[in-house]
């Protein structure tokens, strides 16, 4: 799976729960919250002040 700005947090975590560490690193400690799971990666980055492209690079590198 290739992760994009539009990928929902829930889609990413349902595909690979070990990605949660990257969201936790960016300060997103509310991964179990239904609202956060409905956010796109881009929305989560905006809320937490994180460089979306940098996070996507980590997620996609992890995915291989």
Q: Residue 6: name the closest of 37, 43, 58, 49 by CA.
A: 43
| Higher pLDDT pick, 26 / 49 | 49
Residues 6+ apart with CB under 8 A from 38: 8, 9, 10
- Mean pLDDT computed over every residue of the chain: 92
pLDDT tens sequence across 26-45:
888 878 788 888 899 999 99
The pLDDT of residue 28: 83
Q: List residues bridging with 8 in a β-sheet.
A: 40
Q: Distance (Å, rounded) from C-alpha 44 to C-alpha 36?
A: 8
**pTM higher than 0.75:** yes
The pLDDT of residue 6: 98
* Pair 44, 28: CB distance under 8 Å: yes
């Amino acid at each position: 799976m290739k992760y994009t700005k539009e990928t929902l947090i829930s889609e990413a975590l349902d595909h690979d729960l070990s990605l949660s560490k990257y969201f936790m690193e960016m300060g997103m400690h509310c991964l179990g919250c239904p609202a956060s799971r409905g956010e796109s990666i881009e929305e989560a980055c905006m809320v937490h002040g994180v460089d979306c492209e940098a996070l996507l690079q980590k997620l996609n590198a992890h995915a291989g």
